[in-house]
Amino acid sequence: MTTFEKVREVMALETGEEVTPDTRLVTLVTDSLERANLILELEGALGVEMPDCEAQNFFTVADIVSYAEAH
């Protein structure tokens, strides 16, 4: 399973939405608590720590995938 497929699976479970690499996070999560929960779930699924200072720079699904693949 690719990194994107893992991210897509977690996001579908957490938000109920299908995503593409270009999907903007603001369309999926509306507040900081939802965003934090999503990042926690992604960290667990991907086995990658995403510090808040890095996660605040995630604007699209592709940003998350790129970060996870680099770390």
| DSSP state string for the chain | --HHHHHHHHHHHHHS----TT-BGGGT--SHHHHHHHHHHHHHHHT----HHHHTT--BHHHHHHHHHH-
CATH numeric code, 3-70: 1.10.1200.10
CB 24 within 8 A of CB 11: no
Domain spans of the chain?
3-70
Arithmetic mean of pLDDT, 30-57: 93
Predicted structure pTM score: 0.91
pLDDT at 53 > cutoff 90: yes
Across the chain, what does the average pLDDT equal?
94
